[in-house]
A and B are shown apart, each in its own frame.
Chain A
Amino acid sequence: MGNFTRRDFVKAAAAASALPILGRPAFAADPLKVAFIFLGPVGDYGWTWAHNKGRLELEKALGDKVKTTYVENVKEDASAVPILRDLARQGNKLIFATSFGYMDQVLEVAKEFPDVKFEHCTGFKRAPNVTTYNSRFHEGRAVTGTIAGHMSKSGVIGYLGSFKIPEVVMGVNAFTLAAQAVNPKIQTKLVMIDSWFDPAKETAATQTLANLGCDVIATHTDSPAPLQFCQQKGIYGFGQGADMSKFAPKAHLTAIEDIWGPHYIARAKAMLDGSWKSEDFWEGIKEGDVKISPYNAIVPKNVQEAADKVIEGYKNGSYDVFKGPIFDQSGAEKVPAGKAMSLGDLATIDWYVKGVQSA
């Protein structure tokens, strides 16, 4: 493994290309080389941090059989192409591209290296050697929404979002619908801060939501900053991406954890036994990709049970937060009673449910 920054990588790549190609015959004992490209720094304690944790789990699980490398701070533009190409040339046989914006770059490089397998996170374009994978984070939002519906005294809950993309819209809707299933009068106030990571603005937005009467606030940005404010203010929040309870032991009710390790291990194993093929993974609570952290002791027993019921429902397929009837903000019926939204509908969702207050 190498702790490369992009700059180091460019230097190393330049140095490597100055050498003649010292091809070394591969023999059976050679480990499977697996590479990752990350959008942010591995220390963001959010999205990239969770992916890197998955990478470390892969190393731990398969030991000598794999050798992993990562490149962090890779921009979602054309600059990803040479980085992917160099990783493929260096003998990596399985390459994970962990952000939506690498989609076309992955397909371009995959075409040049038909014997290298690529996996693109959150995308939807596949090829014979390109798999896509994602997690059904909205299932976790249904669990936290259930808790929020019980814990909110004011009936007004907050949602701190990043951008209006399907992933976030899905989360807002799942959170709100689950809370309304507990208390039909629940209103959700939504603020988008136009960034995934800006702790100071996240704090300011949380203060704003609290001042407008929200007493439970969910976050869909990457830092624990909002929770730290909730703790000061005596209101509640949820961890995002990882268990953040140590940042706010009193305010942190639970967290939605992104678990990528099992997917990385399964796919590396598939490479080792030759069963890898191009697929589309969108896994959730049932498969263990989305995990709910231990509940805070302040969450009453009956609320914990209600939340567990949602988790169980997702595990045995009896529960779906996107079951009709669902109305949009204007009150128009979007999903009739007795029907549910398909994953395909969700993947392109761009409207909020009734009870969401958004700008």
Chain B
Amino acid sequence: MTLTFLIDALITVIGITTPILLAASGELVVEKSGVINLGVEGMMLVGAITGFAVGFEFSDPWIGVGAAAVAGTATSMIFAVLVLSLGTNQVATGLALTIFGIGLSSLIGTNYTGFAALPFDPPFPDYLAQDPIGRVIFGHSAFVYFAFILVFAIGWFLSHTRAGLVLRAVGENDFSAHSIGYPVIAIRYAAIAFGGAVAGIAGANFSMVITPMWAEQMTAGRGWIALALVVFSGWRAGRLLAGAYFFGVLMTLELYAKASGYAIMPSQFWAAMPYIIAVAVLAFISARDGRSGKEPACLGKPFLPNG
């Protein structure tokens, strides 16, 4: 096994992990505020088609990414109005948002099927990414660096800033936060908007970099993996990063084992492995911590201060 071989394998891991990490980071902030949004998959798809279509029309991928973030936020606001202002059930509304996102993205995408997206230039100049080491450090798309920066920034925001503390307070005890004067609903709106923007960008990662094209339902369930990861991580940014890469490594290992002809276990078992291990780890954490990680106490509960 040469260095180049290992680095090429690592590049596959990074590619497969980044959109999951992005979507999960956004959802972490939403859940920390006490709201569970199961619409991640739908928001990703709306972001994917918007990013592709706008990038294509304006011949500028960066405008596309911006539009994907805006579209993700706009989609999340439908959810926010329903659950925050009208007090609907978060689980049902989130599921509906995913179904809506699948339908809306297919509708917008009707005229964009069968086109290739513009190449998305990496942020670093080519000469830095010539040798294998340079490639693994400088050879990625901007999404990869953004995902890393974002997850560290979220970790720092949640644990080291006053605003992060307020957000967590809203998620742990909304009535107390309300009674000492924090605008619970407004803070949750902001968290949902942020989650939507990041999910939109995660979707754009699919349609603009990983597979520069649009195809219906191209995220193929990654939004659900992102949701599982948030739980798997016990609502902590550091574990989220580790967990996302753990998933990515397992998925890549599966492909290498199959392609190398090592029939250690049936193919279907390999495909199920990341989930089986996630459940096992989750059970382990929950047995140790007494409950499933550090779930925000108000997660999924509607907050209706006046009634």
Chain B residues whose C-beta falls within 8 Å of the C-beta of A224 in the assembled complex? 116, 211, 213
Distance between B257 CB and nearest chain A CB, rounded to angstroms: 6
- Residue in B5, B113, B264 whose beta carbon sits within 8 Å of that of A45 in the complex: B113
Chain B residues with Cβ below 8 Å from A211 are 5, 8-9, 12
Which single residue of chain B is at the shortest CB-CB distance from A232?
A: B119
Min Cβ gap B107→A in Å is 9
Do A208 and B12 touch (CB < 8 A)? yes
Known: A194-B268, A195-B220, A204-B12. A228 touches B252 (CB 8 A): no
Closest A residue to B20 by CB, please name it.
A200
Point out the residues of chain A lying under 8 angstroms from B263, CB to CB: 358-359
- Name the B residues within 8 Å of A199 (CB-CB): 206, 210-211, 213, 215, 218, 220
CA distance A247 to B116 in the complex (A): 5
Interface of A is mostly: mixed
Cβ contact of B19, chosen from A7, A200, A202, cutoff 8 A? A200
Is A82 in the interface zone, CB < 8 Å from B? no
Chain B positions 7 through 18: 1 when the CB is less than 8 Å from some CB of chain A, otherwise 0: 011011001100
**B292 at interface, CB cutoff 8 A:** no
- Nearest residue (CB) in A for B114 is A45
CB <8 Å contact, A43 and B110: yes
| A197 interfacial contact with B, CB 8 Å | yes
> A148-201: which have CB < 8 Å to B?
158, 164, 189-195, 197-201
Considering only residues 197-216 of chain A, those with a C-beta below 8 Å from chain B are 197-205, 207-212
With A199-B218, A200-B19, A201-B220 already in contact, the answer to whether A191 and B258 are too (CB < 8 A) is yes
Asked if A197 and B259 sit within 8 Å, CB to CB, the answer is no
Given contacts A194-B268, A199-B220, A247-B116, contact A45 B215 (CB under 8 A): yes
List which B237-281 residues lie within 8 A (CB) of chain A.
Answer: 251-252, 255-264, 267-268, 270-271
Chain B residues close to A by CB (< 8 Å): 5, 8-9, 11-12, 15-16, 19, 103, 106, 109-110, 113-116, 206, 210-213, 215-222, 251-252, 255-264, 267-268, 270-271
State the A residues within 8 Å of B (CB). 5, 7, 40-41, 43-46, 49, 158, 164, 189-195, 197-205, 207-212, 223-225, 228, 246-248, 357-359
The 27 sampled A-B contact pairs (Cβ below 8 Å) are A7-B103, A41-B216, A43-B106, A43-B216, A44-B215, A44-B216, A45-B113, A46-B215, A190-B259, A197-B220, A199-B206, A199-B215, A199-B218, A200-B15, A200-B16, A201-B16, A203-B15, A204-B12, A204-B252, A204-B255, A208-B255, A225-B213, A228-B212, A357-B259, A359-B259, A359-B260, A359-B267
